[in-house]
Chains A and B, each alone.
Chain A
Amino acid sequence: MNEAALEIRGLSKSFDKRVVDNLDLKVAPGELYALLGPNGAGKTTTLRMAVGLTRPESGDVRIFGIDALADPLAAKKLTAWLPDEPMLYDKLTPAEYLGFVAGLWRISPGEAAPEAERLLRWLELWDERDTPCEGFSRGMKQKVALAGALIHRPRLLILDEPLTGLDANMARAVKDALRAQVDEGAGVIVTTHILEVAERLADRIGIIAQGKLLAEGTLAELRAQAGSDDLTLEDAFIRLTRAPEAQ
């Protein structure tokens, strides 16, 4: 299959100012792409446009070759969205929540129930499956939301700051989950402030500032673009994101 998991071309969006400016971006199947950028760089808006939550002013979004603007339902069927604030219902239990999400994605109960059990056990939520989510810690809520994102076996995972507020064990569990998805051939795009995560986890990294993609590539390629081979990602990030401000 040659289709990109996610292909964004010429994407633009303004609110009171330009937030995303003629952005091009490509994520291959079996690739984990980390989108980095300072606050207000346009990361979340880009991802929200990719999943159909925000309408772009111009540009294309293609998910495995499907035009997400022309045929949003077909594109959504392949996609999972995990924002930094988990999309949960406090009064539902994890099992009920997964039942609801599976229903929305029209997964048959025969197929969804065993998958839900597998996910809940794997994310160590099995014993809490009948406990309403309202009393859960942020990390547990994030894990329930992750299970919801994975239950319909998405081929493209789009995650906005998935590790915010998680402790080390839970962050590791989420990172393992993402790596497992990539190994199974899914495309994963993730925004994060934790550069170490991007450094260790991502196959390719994109750096965005003021709505524009400033640099893209593997860590080595980014170092080269920043002008030195022995830079850390943090140094490269700071150099690359300061450059346009200095101009």
Chain B
Amino acid sequence: MTRLMHRLTPGGFLWLMVNEVRLATRAARQRRGGNIIWGLLITVYTAVGFMLASSVIDVPITPAPFAFVIVFAVCVLAMSFMTTQAMLRSQDTLYQSGDLDLLLTAPLPPRRVLLAKLCGVVANIIMVFAAFTLPVALPVALLGHPGLFGIPLVLLALALVSACLGLAITLFIVRVASPRTARTIAQIVGAFLAAGVFLASQFLSAGPGRGSAGRAVLGWLVHHDYGSHGFAALPGQAALGSLPAMVAVLGGAMLIFAGAGALLGRAFLISYQNAPARLTRRRGRAKGSIARHFRQGLFATMFAKETRLLRRDPQLAFTIVLRLIYLLPIALPAFTHGRGPPLLPALAFFGVLIAGQLAGSLAWLTVSAEDSPDLIAVAPVEKQAAQRAKLAAALLIAAPFAIVLPVAIALENPRAAIIALAMTLASALAAGLVELKFQRPAKRRAFGNRREGSFLVGVLTFLMTGLLGLGAGYLVWLAG
């Protein structure tokens, strides 16, 4: 890329664009832990793609309305993910990265800078989605289905439109609220989408209709003419090799991209110029007496601090909830109308597992992710006492959620509920103690990646809480 930049006119659109793509690829490489692992994964995935391609070499892929519907549905889903990603990257570009000051004080038209920045967003999106789709799509296209070479073009078109949409939404949210709100909304919407798709797929595959569910959804789309005709069919036609459709889709996307540059250029500049004001504080209402903020004793002090920090970080709280949502499919067999395990033991198992995971997450936040460790270290407090107080705070925050399932069990069988409650407490305590024992200092914002540094702790917590859950299920079954 750097060599390519030497050949281009410095300060020109292409030069700026290549610079943005260079930054995006380097950031992506950093995030994914280096070239070797990433290259290895792509190689293996591509090999799988070639195996798949060789198995469908003689299977005709015809551009039929049903295929267009599938592509349409996939495009809608992909575009929603791409848009949330574009919102996050736009927010980074506008309010996090430091290079806009440099670019906008250089003798360059702001619109050119914006379009180049948007290209960086597009590159970022494409790298993620290309890694998922192209290792399979390209081998299939190479081995007998050249029409599928339209897929990369559709991908590019989707990324172009999503980048514009993401930027427009971000600028709008920043205008009516704040950059942080834009980021939180993008993260929450993205997480909702992922969780929604995951849960829907799990529910559909666990339901009575099983394999037919996906087909039913597509049948519904076909029945209502969604994606099989007209403009909505264009992505499908382009992906399956229709040249006019490819030109229409990519041309349309590029027009939107250029139009967005023209339309959003001014809004972008104003938003950037106002960014310092929007990033500065919003004054909280001063509400009289200060005494309410002071607590007697170490535990009360820690508990007040930890609850406040969690309450004021909705994105973090949401991530914790999301992690629990991803455990839901484990409980689904209990609701399969007599085909799965008995309800109460399954609920006890699930409740104990959830309580352990929740307590583990909260204990990580309170114990390991202390944002001011030096403050605690210089305070006249024994380290162990401070950590016990933090762990107790984590358990107390988890308690109202952890007791929901034992209470539900109590409606059916109070004796079983007492067992479930005791095991829930044991599970939460065990998960908390594991965090306490193997803590590694980290930043709260690293919560999403915390297992990268402590994979074994995650496995250990899961195994322990799982075993305690199985024990709870067995004991509740005996009691029932």
Q: Which of A72-124 contact B (CB under 8 A)?
A: 73-74, 76-77, 79, 81, 83, 87-93, 95-96, 98-106, 108-109, 112-113, 116-117, 120
Cβ-based interface call for B36 (8 A): no
| Structural contact, A102 and B294, CB atoms closer than 8 A | yes
Residue from B281, B285, B301, B371 within 8 A of A99 (CB atoms) = B301
Binds B, one of A11-19, A25-33, A132-140: A132-140
Q: Which residue of B lies closest to A113 (CB)?
A: B291
Among A77, A104, A117, the residue within 8 A (CB) of B375 is A104
Q: Which residues of chain A have C-beta atoms less than 8 A from B304's C-beta?
A: 96, 99-100, 103
Q: Is A52 an interface residue (CB 8 A)?
A: yes
In the complex with contacts A91-B308, A132-B281, A136-B281, A104-B313 CB distance below 8 A: no
Contact A92 B309 (CB under 8 A): yes
B295 adjacent to A101 (CB under 8 Å): no
Please judge, given known A-B contacts A103-B300, A130-B285, whether A109 and B291 are in contact too, CB under 8 Å.
Answer: yes
Known: A103-B301, A117-B290, A127-B286. A91 touches B313 (CB 8 A): yes
Q: Per a CB cutoff under 8 Å, which of A73, A87, A96, A131 touches B293?
A: A96
Q: Are B294 and A87 within 8 A (Cβ)? A: no
For the complex, is A128 an interface residue (Cβ under 8 Å from B)?
yes
Question: Out of A77, A79, A88, A99, which one reaches B372, CB within 8 Å?
Answer: A88
Residue with the highest number of chain A CB atoms closer than 10 Å, among B281, B294, B376, B379:
B294
Count contacts on A: residues with CB < 8 A to the other chain.
47
Report yes or no: A116 in contact with B290, Cβ–Cβ below 8 A: yes
B177: chain A residues at CB < 8 Å are none
In the assembled complex, B297 has its CB within 8 A of some CB on chain A: yes
Query: Interface size (B, Cβ < 8 Å)?
Result: 38
CA distance A102 to B292 in the complex (A): 13
Contact mask A45-56 → B, CB, 8 Å, 1/0? Answer: 000000111000
Residues from chain B with Cβ under 8 Å of A98 in the complex: 290, 293-294
Are A132 and B295 in contact, CB atoms less than 8 angstroms apart? no
Contact B280 A135, beta carbon cutoff 8 Å? yes
Most chain A CB atoms below 10 A, which of B283, B305, B382: B305
A51, chain B: closest CB distance, angstroms: 5
Which residues does chain B contribute within 8 Å of A95, judged by CB atoms? 290, 293
Footprint of B on A, CB under 8 Å?
51-53, 73-74, 76-77, 79, 81, 83, 87-93, 95-96, 98-106, 108-109, 112-113, 116-117, 120, 126-132, 134-137, 148
Q: List 13 A-B contacts (CB under 8 A).
A: A53-B377, A79-B378, A89-B371, A91-B308, A98-B293, A99-B294, A100-B301, A100-B305, A104-B380, A109-B291, A116-B293, A134-B281, A135-B279
- Residues of B at the A interface (CB closer than 8 Å) are 279-287, 289-291, 293-298, 300-302, 304-305, 308-309, 312-313, 371-372, 374-382
